[in-house]
Each structure stands twice: as structure tokens, then as C-alpha cells.
Structure 1
Amino acid sequence: MTNRYYGGWAAPNIYFLGLAGVVKFGNIRIGGLSGIHKQQHYQLGHYERPPYNEGTIRSVYHVRHYDVLKLMHVKEPLDIFMSHDWPLGITEYGNWQKLIREKRFFEEEVNKRTLGSEPAARLLNKLKPPYWFSAHLHCKFPAVIQHGEDGPTTKFLALDKCLPGRGFLQVIDIPSSPGPHEIKYDEEWLAITRKFNSIFPLTRMPFTMWSVCTCI
């Protein structure tokens, strides 16, 4: 879906949020960040172009600072956030002992607090959505994050691969107003996207925070 940076319909009844995005489904606001965090590509622009080679076919799926920064400017509350990576430190809020019994190779990263994505953790602490769903590590892991002593909570859930006998499915009821239940563009996200469009980085040059100071 790298040719759909801003998202769109990937297949019947399957909507792609883009490399970063926010949409509405009825009155539910859903945000998302695609890709895997790799530090060597994080500050670069979206320089990859088809036809991809062995390097760019991988790097094109790596999270970029530009997209995280756009999401950091979301101010209106979100109901759901989705990311491929787990947020860094999320294991501290769930049964990490059970996790490492099932996935022994996670033990060192859990103990050193290096399991997960630091940009995703920043978004979690900024956006504080009621629900956060992730994938990537191919195991089921629930957690509940309390934001401050009297702050809101985030219910986190990662699911396993879609295979027989694996924990790949869980049904969650999220209250919403009566229809119509259809996907719509989100006004705040459209405004953020428009503001950032003039500085959309499309080369391997590092994109840094100061680049947007005069634009926001």
C-alpha cells in the first residue's frame, strides 16, 4: 500500500489509514501509524520510489518522524489508535512474566526496556486514546495504561497471527451513536495534512523539527 500514502480502499470493506491517518467511522475517531520503527530511516524523507530494490522494498515500510509529528498535532480526542509496532514500555502494564514464558526470546528486551517503538510510546502518552491495538510480535498481549494518578486509561491489545489455535481474534464493543456507520474524512486531520503538505520530505535528506517551526 505504499502507493497510497494518504490511505484509501485496499479491498472491499478494507480501508487503509495511510502511513499515518485519522478517519471517522460514524462518530468514532480512529487514528493509526503504519510501519516498523527503524532508527536509521526514522529522520529521512519518503525517498523510496517504485520499482523498489532489495533495500527500498524494506525501508519504505519504516516509520518516519514526519508522520509521527503530524499525529502529535492531533488535539481532538481519539477513540481508537492502531499501530503495527507495540509502544515502547507497554509490557510494564500487562503480564510480562506470562509473555516471556511464552516468548523466551523477548526476555532480554523486556528487561532492558527496549521492546517496542519509542515514537509509538510518545504518541500513546500524547493522544491517550481509550483503545490502542497493535500487531507485529505475533502474540496476544493485553495491558491497561493509567495516564497519571487521575488521568484517563488506555486499553491496549495485541493479537497473534491468524492461524488455528492462536489468539488472533477478540470482540470488543465500543459504544457509538446510531448510524450511518460509514467511513468519513476527519476535519482536523485534513487541516493538519494541508498544513504539513508544503514541507512533505521526499528525499533522503534528514527531516528535523526546526523545519516546521514557521509553518504550524
Structure 2
Amino acid sequence: MARTVNEEKRLERRKRILEEAVILFAENGYSNTTTALIAKNIGVTSGTIFQYFPNKEALFHAAVLEPLEDIQKKSLALLQQNGTPAELLKNMVKDQFDHIYFYTNELRLVQSVLGQRIRFPELTQKVLDSIKVMTDKIESVYAEGQSMREFNPGFSPAMISRSYISFLNGVALTLGEDIVHHPEWENLKAHAYYLFAPVQHSKN
């Protein structure tokens, strides 16, 4: 029992360190964020941080990649449920837009890495690999929907999936935490789904 409690405390402390790191790296950038500042903000010593992450670079990598993996898992799970391709993509769009404001800082970090590819080559490649897993899945679902005549057959699935991810990131970075209070919030979700060019079947 004691071991379980201690492990839970370790996991909770690691989570707290990572959450604060995400905020500070997103606000101040990599160079201007120190492990000492992260430690001070959560009330631990710098040495405590190094019990969980060997150095600042490893902490930065975790701050970028772990939330991205979390977002990806949730989205992939939605695309693997039962339903038509159109239903799956619509559910994915709704869920991502309903929760995107939780990941504002995380998405800012991803964009920061992609904007500094020479400085963070290895991390950049891991981010791109992660994004590709997501876009590949969207492509396959979209292509299936095209074959079922749910989507316009004249569009490239690869182009559609990348356009959607770009739109999603752009909305999050532009509106940030105010996203759910934006007067056009519901319309933004609708426009995101319109990017997939769903076929409008006429009603007799």
C-alpha cells in the first residue's frame, strides 16, 4: 500500500512539474525558462525536478511531446468508433473544438518548435511524425467517406487533412482561452467541418 501511495505522489508531482513547464516554456520560450523558475513556482527545489527529468532539454521535450500524444490518442479513439466516416469526422471536430482551449499553451509550444527547426531538429521530427499519424488517419477516414459519396470526390484527402489541422491550430493560437466566448464560436466549429467538403444530399 505504501509503495502505491508513494508512486501516486511521484506521478502527481511529475505531472505538476510538467504542467508548470508547459506554461513557462510557452510564455517565456526555451532560453528564458529555467528549471529554478519552474521549481520555485511549484514550491520544490531544482534538485527535485532532476529526479524526474535528467536535464532541462529532456523536460522541454516532455512538455512538447506528452500533451501532443494525449491529444492524438483522444482524436484517434474518436476516429475508431462505430459510425460512418462523416459521423466520425464530425464527432472529432466537435470534440477537438470543445476542448481545444485546454491545450492553448501546448499548441503554442508545438508551433514554437516547428518555427525553430534548425535549433530543435530531433524534437521537430518527432512532432512532425506525431502530426503525420493524425493526418494519415484523417486521410483514410476521409477517403472512405469519399468512396461512400459522403464527401466531394474531387479533393485530395492529404490536402484536406492538412488543411483541417492547420485551421485547428490557427484557431487555437489566435483566440486562445477566449475561444469559447467568441461570438462566432459555433460557426467556427461548423466551418471546420465544412473544410471536409461534405456532400449535401437533396431531400425529396
Same-fold call, TM cutoff 0.5: no
Q: 1 or 2, which has the higher strand percentage?
A: 1
TM-score by length of 1: 0.25
TM-score by length of 2: 0.26
